[in-house]
Amino acid sequence: MSTTISGTGNQDSLNDAVTPSDLGRRKFILAAGWSVVGLTLAGSTYAAYKFMFPPILYEPPTVFKIGHVTEYGLGVDERWKLKGRFWVVRNMRGIYNMISICRHLGCTPNWFPDQKRFRCPCHGSIYDVHGNVRGGPAPRTLWRGMITKDPVDGALVVNTVVRLDPNPTQTPQGLWVKEKVKEISPYWIQHSPPPGASCSSNRLLC
């Protein structure tokens, strides 16, 4: 009997040794352990998802197939101004394109046919049909983009990343680059003028 009483006393002593603070500590350690396991599983799942479904960066196109030379009349064509950020210009000798980005702070100039000028609405830079600076704060002339012919069907192909940017000369009329400097391959394509075209509408196109 005395042995039984002694055993019960030992068990009671062990139970009394486990204090509420010990129980709280054990619960905290258990919760922390499961949290680590959960975070590890979540990280592994996210990494597997990113591997199976990598993010795709969609960038605007920079190469455009714009049709044949005969589809463009003499002067400035604005059909690609918004979609491609360039104008197509056809003169009496050939065809080229200019990037529709102002060389001052990157705004989009507007073409005014009655004035034969591009005017930037942001800070007033003015360009002629060749891209020369005729007024305002623009420090350089408009870029010309690469223009070639598709070897298969002869359609025009414009690349707006490959650009011509010759150093301009300061003149009383503004910043100027001679056309013979810019009318070079692959930034200009020689072509006969449209039927019935003349220089009377804009002498700068001659």
pLDDT higher for 178 or 11? 178
pLDDT of residue 4: 47
Cis peptide before 193, with omega less than 30 degrees from 0?
no
Question: Cα(48)–Cα(94) distance, rounded to whole angstroms?
Answer: 55
CATH topology of domain 63-195: Rieske Iron-sulfur Protein (2.102.10)
Q: Is the pLDDT of residue 9 over 80?
A: no
Whether pLDDT at 128 is above 90? yes
Angle at 129 between CA 126 and CA 134, to 5 degrees: 30
Binning pLDDT at 50, 70 and 90, where does residue 193 land? confident
34: left (phi over 0), alpha (psi -120 to 50) or beta: alpha
Q: Where residue 204 falls among pLDDT bands split at 50, 70, 90?
A: low
Cα–Cα dist 53/98, whole Å: 39
* Residue 14 confidence (pLDDT): 46
pLDDT computed for residue 2 by the predictor: 47
The structural domains of the chain, with segments of one domain joined by +, span 2-52, 63-195
Structure tokens at 186: 């692959």
For the chain, what's the residue count?
A: 206
CB-based burial label for 148 (10 Å; 0-12, 13-18, 19+): middle
Report the pLDDT value the prediction gives residue 159, as an integer from 0 to 100.
98
Mean pLDDT of all residues belonging to the chain: 85
Nearby residues of 7 by Cβ (< 8 Å), 6 or more positions away: none
pLDDT one-digit tens code per residue, 23-74 = 667 776 776 677 777 777 776 776 666 666 666 666 788 999 999 999 999 9
Residue 182 has what pLDDT?
95
Token duo for residue 11: 């068990």
Report the pLDDT averaged over residues 183-197.
Answer: 90
Output the pLDDT for position 142.
Answer: 98
Put simply, whether the predicted model's pTM sits higher than 0.85 gets the answer no
